[in-house]
Chain A
């Protein structure tokens, strides 16, 4: 076996691959089942963006908090939320992560430090400032990570949070997941500057731009700014440039894309392929080892789907549970 040229040991690399493959398999299964009409509501898929969530979350523990977005399945899986509970939640079952009352856009598991996917774009940024403040008040070295798309990066909440985090010197990392589209509107048109690093600089914090399809690039850049935040060095911004394999939501015909664009990015910018090729090429991990993981993940998602479909629905009593009801 060749010497490992990567910043992670083999077990860690296998874990990263398993996480990314789990996200991919989860999302592709949803893509298929949604089209069949099995899933209520609407879902936003993270496929294509797995390296970002995984490269960051490899540095976090359950005491660190993340605030996610409407496109949150990948963040959940990478942060350790149970895949069966997620799938059941998406099917609106009582065994779901939120007992079927949140759905795809609101999966949360505070015991894992996952403060919730969020249907309001940009809303997670102030929340994560609060999570980081709580860590700072307790002195427990916890950090907060908020994810925002290129679209929601224009929200006042996000920009105000950059300022607040800098003023209060909070252990926060703002991650801009730049997949080029705010729903259907191009980032080049809707964002007034060329680089998010310029915005970070404007708020007095460091900013880094990485190729978000390169797991190792994300992992190394995130490691440095997370370490800095954990040590009291204050907030930072990480821009991950990446690609979205499906539409804004399932059913989106994506007519705003250029002809051949999707085929091109799938061929050249698939983060899973990039990671696999590199570890196999380096001789650190064998293709058969990855294929074994693929089979296990496939079985896991199959089982999660089967279990979700078979799980009980919430009871009528659940309608009035877990909120103060005035009437």
Chain B
């Protein structure tokens, strides 16, 4: 039975269902129970934003608070995964990867290949990404490109509650390490979500809107900005196809290329910094594999190459907006868009 729930509830439900289905699934992280060893309630917080609230009552010790010690517990999750458990470790803000990245990219990501296919590391590391939460430079980044750069990691970034539930269930069942990126400004967004368990396969982009004039590719929060832009453009008679990548590694090249071959125009929207991000990656791939189909230069809409500013007035300028996406689309449609820009 389907009902409307938020992305936060959908994530909670996915964890609950998988813990019920598979006794090897454990969940650990800082404050994910909340209040362990303190004098107040047993599960005081349920995660810093309450995503895991209520799971301790259902699953007891399979939900583990950790010391503030990311290297140790992320590594422990990786080690437990190599020894037959399916741990889900919450890294609260993925910005904290800086203090545990070795365990992610040198250990978890390498085992299967480096050990000749004789090891599996079914660990999920989930955490918040993205700006717009007034959380400033160290709690707001979209660091997805750092993860997609690493072979052996799978990288997921859902844009809505339905996808979040199905992709998290798939992440837990997947035998490779998965970085599960949750945009904190989407936690409250509701949509229809089945109560049952379901898994969305990786590498399957979601075409949210059909259009023949231009292809807009994005993921996470900016998918919604792209849809707003597409609605505005439709009023002027421009029909944009909007592709939500859903998973960044693996990435659904076929859907992107097929769309661009039809529309001839591509705008890639990425909340990450502009250098070596998903936008440049996709632009390069399309440039190499579908150049003949392009009627105009590819446009990239990204955050600026700056840290995330704190002042709300500045942060609102930081994240790609519907207007900036619509402008980029118009650039691909203008006659000038077809000619190469000559660098000075």
Q: Do chains A and B touch in the complex (CB under 8 A)?
A: yes
Asked if A163 is an interface residue, CB under 8 A from chain B, the answer is: yes
Interface residues on A, range: 35 or more
Asked if A73 is an interface residue, CB under 8 A from chain B, the answer is: no
CB-based contact A98/B115 at 8 Å:
yes
CB-based contact A130/B80 at 8 Å:
yes
Docked CA distance A30–B110 (Å): 26
**Closest chain B residue to A108 by CB distance?**
B115
B48 to chain A, nearest CB (A): 19
Q: Which of B65-73, B127-135, B181-189, B224-232 is near enough to bind chain A?
A: B65-73
Docked CA distance A168–B64 (Å): 9
**Closest chain A residue to B113 by CB distance?**
A323
CB-based contact B79/A129 at 8 Å:
yes
Residues on B with beta carbons closer than 8 Å to the beta carbon of A100: 116
Asked if A226 is an interface residue, CB under 8 A from chain B, the answer is: no
CB-based contact B250/A324 at 8 Å:
yes
Asked if A101 is an interface residue, CB under 8 A from chain B, the answer is: yes
Q: Which of A123, A128, A138 has the most B CB atoms < 10 Å from its CB?
A: A123
Residues on A with beta carbons closer than 8 Å to the beta carbon of B67: 160, 163-164, 167
CB-based contact B106/A123 at 8 Å:
yes
CB-based contact B75/A326 at 8 Å:
no
CB-based contact B82/A324 at 8 Å:
no
Residues on A with beta carbons closer than 8 Å to the beta carbon of B81: 130
Within 8 A of A (CB), among B186-204: none
Residues on A with beta carbons closer than 8 Å to the beta carbon of B26: 133, 137
CB-based contact B151/A126 at 8 Å:
no
Residues on A with beta carbons closer than 8 Å to the beta carbon of B111: 108, 116
B85 to chain A, nearest CB (A): 5
CB-based contact B84/A134 at 8 Å:
yes
Residue among B64, B79, B251 making CB contact with A115, cutoff 8 Å:
B79
A249 to chain B, nearest CB (A): 19
| Per-residue interface assignment for chain A, residues 98 to 118, with 1 indicating a CB less than 8 Å from any chain B CB and 0 otherwise | 111110001011110001101
Interface size on B, residues (CB 8 A): 46
**Closest chain A residue to B74 by CB distance?**
A126
**Closest chain A residue to B83 by CB distance?**
A134
Within 8 A of B (CB), among A52-70: 65, 67
Docked CA distance A135–B114 (Å): 24
Docked CA distance A118–B84 (Å): 20
Docked CA distance A48–B157 (Å): 50
**Closest chain A residue to B64 by CB distance?**
A168
Residues on B with beta carbons closer than 8 Å to the beta carbon of A144: 79
**Closest chain B residue to A111 by CB distance?**
B118
| Per-residue interface assignment for chain B, residues 224 to 260, with 1 indicating a CB less than 8 Å from any chain A CB and 0 otherwise | 0000000000000000000000000111000000000
A176 to chain B, nearest CB (A): 17
B100 to chain A, nearest CB (A): 8
CB-based contact B151/A133 at 8 Å:
no
Docked CA distance A99–B73 (Å): 30
Residue among B79, B99, B250 making CB contact with A128, cutoff 8 Å:
B79
Asked if B117 is an interface residue, CB under 8 A from chain A, the answer is: yes
Docked CA distance A135–B26 (Å): 13
CB-based contact A120/B72 at 8 Å:
no
B175 to chain A, nearest CB (A): 10
The answer to whether residues A156 and B71 also contact, given A101-B113, A325-B151 and a CB cut-off of 8 A, is: yes
Asked if B158 is an interface residue, CB under 8 A from chain A, the answer is: no
Residues on A with beta carbons closer than 8 Å to the beta carbon of B102: 120, 123, 157
**Closest chain A residue to B82 by CB distance?**
A115
The answer to whether residues A323 and B82 also contact, given A101-B114, A108-B118 and a CB cut-off of 8 A, is: no
| Per-residue interface assignment for chain B, residues 248 to 289, with 1 indicating a CB less than 8 Å from any chain A CB and 0 otherwise | 011100000000000000000000000000000000000000
CB-based contact A102/B115 at 8 Å:
yes
Residues on B with beta carbons closer than 8 Å to the beta carbon of A106: 110, 114-115
The answer to whether residues A161 and B118 also contact, given A116-B111, A126-B103 and a CB cut-off of 8 A, is: no
Asked if A322 is an interface residue, CB under 8 A from chain B, the answer is: yes
Asked if A97 is an interface residue, CB under 8 A from chain B, the answer is: yes
CB-based contact A102/B75 at 8 Å:
no
B174 to chain A, nearest CB (A): 10
Asked if B119 is an interface residue, CB under 8 A from chain A, the answer is: yes
CB-based contact B176/A133 at 8 Å:
no
Asked if B207 is an interface residue, CB under 8 A from chain A, the answer is: no
CB-based contact B75/A126 at 8 Å:
yes
Residues on B with beta carbons closer than 8 Å to the beta carbon of A111: 118
**Closest chain A residue to B69 by CB distance?**
A160
A59 to chain B, nearest CB (A): 19
17 A-B pairs within 8 Å (CB atoms) are namely A99-B116, A99-B117, A101-B116, A123-B106, A126-B103, A127-B82, A127-B107, A130-B75, A130-B80, A131-B79, A133-B76, A137-B80, A138-B84, A164-B67, A164-B69, A322-B117, A324-B152
Apart from the given pairs A127-B103, A129-B76, A156-B99, 6 other A-B contacts in the complex at a CB distance below 8 Å: A101-B114, A108-B114, A110-B83, A163-B67, A164-B66, A325-B151
Which 3 A-B residue pairings sit nearest by Cβ, starting from the closest? A126-B75, A130-B79, A99-B116
B residues with a Cβ closer than 8 A to A are: 24, 26, 62, 64, 66-67, 69, 71-85, 87, 99, 102-103, 106-107, 110-119, 148, 151-152, 154, 176, 249-251
